[in-house]
Amino acid sequence: MAKSDTVRSVKSKGASSSRRSRGAAKTSASSHSGKRTRAKPGVTASSGRAARIDWTKVDATNDRAVAAQARKDGTQTPSNRAWREMAASGRVARVPPASVDVRSIREKLGLSQTGFAARFGFTAAAVRQWEHGRRVPHGPARVLLTIIAREPGAVARALNAAE
């Protein structure tokens, strides 16, 4: 008998004998522990596909358009003071930008890599590695670079006053 003529049907221990959905109220047929299966919260079979988002419209939307739409909908937008209070209470978090272009910041200031590093307290090697993409600034370095990009004079004054 050739190997191809032999057909074996074997059911593995992990295979389910019934086709139940994730939200089934009964225990799983393949479960040895008898635990109930759970569905993902908020997901039902009738929920279907998510709505399609036109990202070109989202990207083209500015703060003025968002505020106008909020007024039209009757949505209350928090004031700057309210945002600060929510951040202080921990209801919202301030998140720095996902990426920082160190080279463009440095070139905008007209500094060399070593000059930029010396002026703002980085190592020249770190600046070089950030610019070449071998490393990415994280945490406090990313926040400081974001502030340098927006207000380089303020950072320089604060660092000079600390000396």
| Local mean pLDDT, 10-residue blocks, the chain (163 residues) | 48 48 52 54 56 80 83 80 88 78 95 94 95 91 92 88 71
Q: Are residues 115 and 65 in the same domain?
A: no
Contacts of 6 (CB under 8 A, 6+ apart): none
Q: Are residues 107 and 158 in the same domain?
A: yes
Contacts of 26 (CB under 8 A, 6+ apart): 20, 36
In the chain, the number of structural domains is 2
CATH of the domain at 156: 1.10.260.40
- Identify the pLDDT of residue 9: 45
> Would you call 87 helix, strand, or coil by DSSP?
helix
Q: Are residues 107 and 146 in the same domain?
A: yes
Measured distance CA(130)–CA(28) in Å, rounded: 51
Q: Is residue 84 part of a domain?
A: yes
- Identify the pLDDT of residue 107: 95
Q: Are residues 79 and 122 in the same domain?
A: no
Structural domain span for residue 153:
102-162
